[in-house]
Amino acid sequence: MYLFKSGILLFMVGLSVADIAFEFKKAEIVPDVITKAPTEEVEVEYGNKEVKFGEEWTPTQVKNAPEIDYEDDENAFYTLMMTDPDAPSRTNPTYREFLHWLVGNIPGDHISKGKILAPYVGSGPPKGSGLHRYVFLVYKQPGQINFEEFQLTSNGKEGRRKFSAKNFSEKYQLGDPIAGNMFQAQWDESVPQ
């Protein structure tokens, strides 16, 4: 995206609202995960490298939770989720969606102060399953929520398979996501570890 300021052309990092909607539809996140694309981009950073929408990362690069930033209201609460709609593969998504991370009641953009419902689990696609989409979504909550879900463990699949961002959003009246991003990953030798 470009911006003119005082006769100087400036390059701005990130996607425009139209670009975000286009990318979410092109990647088929709309309708596989959500029904309406967000209007903002979630900034996702692993180490000191920022995720560019749709690029490929290795499971090794994303094994630890990233730093997240989004436009927020310090007086509001947010929900962050990361899901894989391609479990076990994009051509056979029988476990759609696999939940990789879920944090609710986040004050502003202070993820560490939110309620962890599902601790972060990096990508680990099965061998031969091709590229998987890893989708980050941020929802602005209508207020603080008393979540009914039990906190999941980081090493189990129980409660993570067949998660639905749409259903979770409807259950807690979160509406459409306000921000999102996505990267892709496929199996490599680090996955079994």
Q: Is the pLDDT of residue 10 over 50?
A: no
Cα separation, 192 vs 179, in Å, equals: 32
Cα separation, 11 vs 119, in Å, equals: 36
For 34-59, what is each residue's pLDDT tens digit? 999 999 999 999 999 999 999 999 99
What is the end-to-end Cα distance of the chain in Å, rounded? 40
Largest CA distance in the chain: 57
More confident residue, 168 or 159: 168
Q: Is the pLDDT of residue 7 over 90?
A: no
Q: What is the CA radius of gyration of the chain?
A: 16
Q: Is the pLDDT of residue 12 over 60?
A: no
| β-bridge partners, 189 | none
Q: Is the pLDDT of residue 15 over 70?
A: no
Cα separation, 159 vs 146, in Å, equals: 18
Confidence of residue 184 (pLDDT cuts 50, 70, 90): very high
Cα separation, 161 vs 165, in Å, equals: 12
Cα separation, 165 vs 25, in Å, equals: 16
Confidence of residue 8 (pLDDT cuts 50, 70, 90): very low
For 70-116, what is each residue's pLDDT tens digit? 999 999 999 999 999 999 999 999 999 999 999 999 999 999 999 99
Q: Is 108 exposed, middle or buried (0-12, 13-18, 19+ CB in 10 A)?
A: middle
- Residues 84, 134 contacting (CB under 8 angstroms): yes
Taking the mean position of all CA atoms in its chain, how far away is CA 60?
18
Cα separation, 107 vs 93, in Å, equals: 33
- What domains, with CATH codes, occur in the chain? 2-185 (3.90.280.10)
